[in-house]
Amino acid sequence: MKPKVSVIIPVYNCEPFLRACIDSLRAQTLREIELIFVCDASPDHSLDILREAEREDSRIRVIAFAQNRGVSAARNAGLSAATGEFVGFCDGDDWVEPQMFERLYAMACEHGADVSFCRVFKDYADRTDSVPLGFDTGARFDREAIRSTLIPAMLSRETDSDELPLSGYTPRNLFRSGLIKGHRFREDIRYAEDLLLIIECMLDADAAVAVDEAYYHYRFHGSSVTKRYSPYVPESYDLSNDAIAALLAPYPECARRMTIRRRKMAVTSVRNLCYPGTPFGFWARVKKARAYMNRADVRAWFKGVRPLRFAPKLAVRLFLMKHRLAFAMCFLFTYIFDRV
């Protein structure tokens, strides 16, 4: 029997959390499900855990890479193998509520949507937050509304803000197979790769539907890639943003919000130099930050911004970026990281 949903799970260095991920997927109330785990040459015991699970459950398929190729390549391998009517995603160190895929599938079918998407939990060591979606359950977006409302909400808030936009996080979405199989994750983008593919799919979709209910648990832990230095920043940001901007050039509100998005990611690019795991000493961070902040395109993103219009913490960051004060930015992110 053809599965209703194929779930693709890239796996790399998540042994401590992998069994919980597997158990949550096997416990889905939607039984007609296919679970495709792609082990990206993980150096821990993840593959052994996956092979054991594969023997226990016929719905599980394991693809094992001989060499590490990155999350985009892993997801693409899963897309090629998927046979379900719809395709969803999960990361190997996260987990999902039992009703997630049944609910997203039912809502997509009920509303004739090519994409359905839900709220996300953020699981920290000491708390769990449910991130507001911004749209009511059952809110349906046709092709025009996808371009005028939904995609802009994914790019940024209406103006610079410390609040996050509607996350372009792949695992919160369920895609009709015929839609997503016409696309692939770009394997040269090793970081922040999700949103480009989602926007490509949204532009081809006839309809999308919101499910303002939290089902996906995004686990924050010491080795979370979003809180550690990445050598792929800012290059991956640039590649992704340039490709997104080209796709959205015909849509004025999207183009306006792309500049806001670029400013936010520019701040993160400087912050990345100071994250745990950085190979650079303080003065090397300052030198690299200064070179980045002096780029003509980066200067242009901040040229028209008025920092004093914003709350103090955000105003400080925007002011320092606008005036290219690299020493102060690196000092801020190295020594006052949790306070500003």
Domain annotation covers residue 255: yes
pLDDT, residue 301, reads 97
Q: What's the pLDDT tens digit per position in 182-211?
A: 999 999 998 878 999 999 999 999 999 999
**What is the share, in percent, of the chain residues with pLDDT greater than 90?**
89
| Mean pLDDT over each residue of the chain, to the nearest integer | 94
Average pLDDT over residues 114-137: 92
Q: Tell me if 156 is assigned to some domain.
A: yes
* Greatest Cα-to-Cα distance within the chain, rounded to the nearest angstrom: 61
Range of the domain at 274: 229-335
pLDDT at res. 338: 52
pLDDT of 205: 98
225: confidence class by pLDDT, cuts 50, 70, 90: low
- pLDDT cut 70: percent of the chain above it: 97
Q: Are residues 111 and 252 in the same domain?
A: no
Residue where a domain terminates, one of 178, 207, 226: 226
Q: Is residue 340 part of a domain?
A: no
Q: What is the C-alpha separation between 16 and 24, in angstroms, rounded?
A: 14
Say how far apart CA 328 and CA 10 lie, in whole Å: 38
Alpha carbons 19 and 16: distance in angstroms, whole number:
8
Q: What is the pLDDT of residues 27-43, one digit of tens each?
A: 999 999 999 999 999 99
**What pLDDT was estimated at residue 228?**
86
Q: Tell me which residue of 309, 214, 202, 281 sits closest to 247, measured CA to CA.
A: 202
Render pLDDT for 242-273 as a digit per residue (tens, 0 to 9).
999 999 999 999 999 999 999 999 999 999 99
pLDDT band at 339 (very low <50, low <70, confident <90, very high): very low
**Are 37 and 153 in a shared domain?**
yes
Q: Is the pLDDT of residue 340 over 50?
A: no
Residue 299: per-residue pLDDT? 98
Type of residue at 174: L
User: Cα(86)–Cα(186) distance, rounded to whole angstroms?
Assistant: 21
Q: Are 171 and 216 in contact (CB under 8 A)?
A: yes
224 has pLDDT over 60: no
Per-residue confidence (pLDDT) for residue 131, from 0 to 100:
84
Count of structural domains within the chain:
2
Lowest-confidence segment of 46-55, 82-91, 127-136 by average pLDDT: 127-136
pLDDT exceeds 70 at position 283: yes
- Examine the domain organization and report whether 202 and 287 are in the same domain: no
34, 3 contact by CB (below 8 A) = yes
